[in-house]
Amino acid sequence: MTALAQRLDPRRLIDAARPAAIWSAPRVRALRLMWRAAPRLSVLAVGFVLAEGALPVLVLIAMGRVTGAIPGAVIFGLGSRSGHALISDLALAGGVYALSLMRGPLEDGLSTAAGARVEALMQTMLVDAACAPVGIEPLEDQEVLDRLASAQGQLLNARPADAPMQVVSLAGDRLTGILACAVLATWHWWVGLGLLVMWLVVRRPLAQLIRARTTRARSAGPQLRRSWYMLGLAWKPPAAKEMRVFGLSDWAAERHREEWLEAMEPSWREWRALDLRVWGCGVVVLLAYGGIAALLGIAADHRSIGLRELATLLPMLPASLSAGSISFADIQLELSLSALPDLHGLVAALHAVPSLHDTAPIHPPIGGRPHERVRLRDVSFSYPAGEPVLDGLNLELAAGRSLGLVGVNGAGKSTLISLLARMREPTGGAITVDGTPLSALEPRAWQRAVAVVYQDFARLPLSVAENVGMFGEGRPDRALVSRALERAGAAETVAALPRGVDTVLSPHFSDGVDLSGGQWQRIALARALYAVEAGARLLVLDEPTAQLDIRGEAAFYERFLELTRGVSSIVISHRFASVRRADRIAVLDGGRITELGSHAELLALKGRYAEMFRLQAERFAADEVAS
């Protein structure tokens, strides 16, 4: 288990950043979230709890008074003192009942407002935590992905943001039950106290049942995440074409069903194991309430209590159920609360890894680095539980020069780039920038100085300007965007779009359009050129022209090195036409640089590069003849 996985262990999540045991209780966590998100609404929630608890009991008391006043009003008439008492009691009961009717709309409004603010706070916490680490390794960790899904309520189909108001609502219900027991205690103190104690005793196993089931379901995170992923295949756009062409919709639905049932089976077994205890509790409750109802009937028959007392006390029996009974609301609350330990534990764990917010032990300014060179010395890297991808690699990239990087699939080219961009940390060796360890540079500043266009570059459902101007943190310079599009050969394509650079590049939005693979590639290349003009000093292109035809690729590279002159650049490509114009070319094989030199020097060496170049040239020649 990795160090990060240990920090994310479910048994330790609840203890993350705990100031005191009481403050880490799930319900307290929920209320603290609401206080942080909406202090004023939290104050209103206190008043709501009091109203939620007291109004139902007050309605029953008022209706008991009305019932008790009816016989006198019937006998003596409405004009009598008894009649006036009935009218007064009816007015009081009507007023209290009218107030009680307002609880529903007020609760809905308060829940909606508080839920929206809490959800915004939780999303902010998650985004801030997910973006805090220097690299992307935490976001590839199975534990992190499970906790992220759980923290957002995706696994158990719950809304964690609703938890605070669910706590408030159930607190009001508990207060109703307690006040009902208090009213019953005015008749016989031991009746009210006995019911309250009974619920304290009975509720414990019932609450354990719900928590056990929720915990079991929560521990099945990987399976639940797979099950929801399988269901999403049937309707999410990326897989839509394959799902229809191969007729896989039924298969995806069945796989979702199988994974979900297998994940939930342990919690159902837990439920069945506690059935006997639940039935036992039910029998105890039934006998207790039956006995009290019988006592009330006997007391009424012997006239030891009047009609008003009977009409008041008898409805208090079902009202007192709220003191401890389990309802669907309790189940929903436990599902919502189950995400909060994951939320707080995940935030604490992600902020504990090397972070963009950390102050480096050495903090030299980036200031246009590299001024001289970037050097990789005996660099090694292995993925968790995997063989070394890089093993004692040595390479030097001179400032302002271009380097072509070639190698077979799986040689580690993309891994090498991720190390340079500090997306990952070497497991051995060192990377230095002008003699300063890369780990000593301020992470965010370095990553702002590096522009990488990945093979699987981001296709954002945003405007052309925002896609090209990503380096500008969402505030693109229009002049730089236009110049980058022109240099990337994408200006004509963009000019033909409905709204030019303001056109949204997604068919899923109004007036949005999609682009072909080659057109998207040019947008990505424009993104790289924009980054260079905006200040990036190290430019990396990972298979930058894979979706362009040979002529389009040749035309781009005729201009690319000229456009990026003075910028340190690395080009990774399977096409040797893409790298042959670089100042130097490195061959990555077996985790090491095995050949290094210019195109002519490597051909003269007659090594691995010359062999691969010859084979590719023969294939292209054969294709030209065939066409």
**In a domain? residue 4:** no
Asked whether residue 490 is assigned to any structural domain, the reply reads: yes
Continuous segment of H or E residues that includes residue 376: strand 373-382
Do the domain assignments include residue 266?
A: no
- pLDDT for 14 equals 34
Q: Is the peptide bond before 370 cis (omega within 30 degrees of 0)?
A: yes
Rg (CA), the chain: 35
C-beta of residue 89 within 8 angstroms of C-beta of residue 69: yes
CB-based contacts of 409: which residues, under 8 Å, 6+ apart?
Answer: none
Residue 473: pLDDT band (50, 70, 90) is low
Q: Mention every residue, 6+ apart, whose C-beta is less than 8 A from residue 107.
A: 48, 52, 165, 169
CB half-sphere exposure, 577, CA atoms < 13 A: 16
CB atoms within 10 A of CB 7: 20
Give the contacts of 44 (CB within 8 A, at least 6 positions apart).
110
* 232, part of any domain: no
Query: What pLDDT does residue 360 have?
Result: 47
Report the alpha-carbon distance of residue 185 to residue 191 in Å, rounded: 6
The 10s digit of each residue's pLDDT in 519-544 is: 888 898 888 888 888 888 888 888 76
Do 313 and 210 fall within a single domain?
Answer: yes
- Determine, yes or no, domain membership for 579: yes
User: Is 5 within a domain?
Assistant: no
At residue 361 the predicted structure's pLDDT band, cuts being 50, 70 and 90, is very low
Does residue 446 or residue 366 have the better pLDDT? 446
* Residue 530 and residue 399 share a domain: no
- Three-state SS for 454? coil
Do 138 and 89 fall within a single domain? yes
CA–CA separation, 570 vs 451, rounded Å?
10
Best CA proximity match to 613, nearest among 591, 593, 590, 595: 595
For residue 190, the domain's CATH number is 1.20.1560.10
Domain of 448, in residue numbers: 372-455+543-598
Same domain for 558 and 449: yes
Residues facing 572 on adjacent strands: 405, 542
- Quick check: 266 pLDDT over 90? no
pLDDT at 561: 66
In which band, very low, low, confident or very high, does the pLDDT at 334 lie, cut at 50, 70 and 90?
confident
In 3D, which of 430, 475, 183 has the Cα closest to residue 311? 183
State pLDDT tens for residues 573-601.
Answer: 777 767 888 889 999 988 899 999 999 99
Q: In this predicted model, which residue has the larger pLDDT, 94 or 133?
A: 94
Residue 148 in tokens: 């992220």
Same domain, residue pair 536 and 547: no
- Asked whether the beta carbons of 141 and 366 are under 8 A apart, the reply is no
Q: What is the pLDDT of residues 26-57, one digit of tens each?
A: 888 888 999 999 999 999 888 888 888 899 99
Q: Name residue 397's beta-bridge partners.
A: 374
Residue 509 has φ and ψ, to the nearest 5°, of: -125, 155
- Does residue 64 surpass a pLDDT of 60? yes
List % helix, strand, coil for the chain (3-state, nearest 5). 65, 10, 25
Q: Residues 43, 107: one domain?
A: yes
Least confident of 413-422, 436-445, 541-550: 541-550
Residues 445 and 472 both lie in one domain: no
CB within 8 A of 621, min separation 6: which ones?
none
DSSP output for 557-573: HHHHHHHTTTSEEEEE-
- Rounded Cα distance, 44 and 55, in Å: 16
**What's the number of CA atoms in the CB half-sphere (13 Å) around residue 410?**
3
Q: Which is higher by pLDDT, 212 or 87? A: 87
Query: CB 64: neighbour CB atoms within 10 A?
Result: 23
pLDDT exceeds cutoff 70 at 621: no
pLDDT of residue 501: 92
Mean pLDDT for the stretch of residues 404-422: 87
317 is written with which tokens?
């029996």
What is the CA angle 277-281-283, rounded to 5? Answer: 115
- Global pTM value: 0.75
273 — pLDDT class (breaks 50, 70, 90): low
Name the token pair of 241: 């074409």
Q: Among 377, 373, 421, which Cα is nearest to 399's?
A: 373
Does residue 7 contact residue 349 with C-beta atoms inside 8 Å? yes
Residue 626 has pLDDT above 60, yes or no: no
pLDDT band at 80 (very low <50, low <70, confident <90, very high): confident
The residue-averaged pLDDT of 378-383 equals 92
Distance CA 191, CA 188 (A): 5
Tens of pLDDT, residue by residue over 416-426, are: 998 998 888 89
Domain count for the chain, please give it.
Answer: 3
**Can you name the residues that pair with 403 across neighbouring β-strands?**
570, 584
Predicted confidence at residue 26, as pLDDT, reads 82
CA dihedral 196, 197, 199, 203 (to 10 degrees): 140
Q: Which of these three, 303, 319, 352, is where a domain ends? A: 352
Domain-located, residue 489? yes
Give the CATH number for residue 416: 3.40.50.300
Tokens of 93: 């009961």
Report the pLDDT value the prediction gives residue 481, as an integer from 0 to 100.
92
Q: Which two tokens stand for residue 374?
A: 């970037």
| Residues 306, 199 within the same domain | yes
Q: Is the dihedral of CA 111, 112, 118, 122 positive or negative?
A: positive
Q: Are residues 313 and 301 in the same domain?
A: yes
Are 39 and 137 in a shared domain? Answer: yes
Please compute the mean of the pLDDT values over residues 88-97 and round it to a whole number.
90
Average pLDDT, the chain: 82
Do residues 441 and 557 both lie within one domain?
yes
Angle between helices 221-233 and 249-273 in degrees, nearest 10: 150
pLDDT digits (tens, 9 = 90+) for 228-261: 888 888 777 777 778 888 888 888 888 888 888 8
Q: Residue 457 is inside which H or E element, if any?
A: none
Spatial distance between the Cα atoms of 287 and 296, rounded to a whole number of angstroms: 14
**Domain assignment of residue 603, yes or no:** no
Task: Give CA–CA dist 422/533, Å, rounded.
Answer: 22
Q: Per DSSP, what are the bridge partners of residue 500?
A: none
Q: What is the pLDDT of residues 166-192, one digit of tens each?
A: 898 889 999 999 999 999 999 999 999
Using the predicted structure, report yes or no on whether residue 67 has a pLDDT greater than 60: yes
* Closest to 421 (Cα-Cα) out of 560, 590, 568, 559: 568
Which residues, in sequence order, are CB contacts of 517 under 8 Å at separation 6+?
Answer: 547
Residues 336-357 as b/e (b if ≥16 CB within 10 A, e otherwise) read: bbbbbbbbbbbbbbbbebbbee
Confidence at residue 571, expressed as pLDDT on a 0 to 100 scale: 86
Would you state the structure tokens that stand for residue 266, as one six-digit string? Answer: 């342990």
Say yes or no: 493 and 552 in one domain: no
Mean pLDDT of all residues in 279-298: 86
Instruction: Write down which residue in 517, 540, 563 finishes a domain.
Output: 540
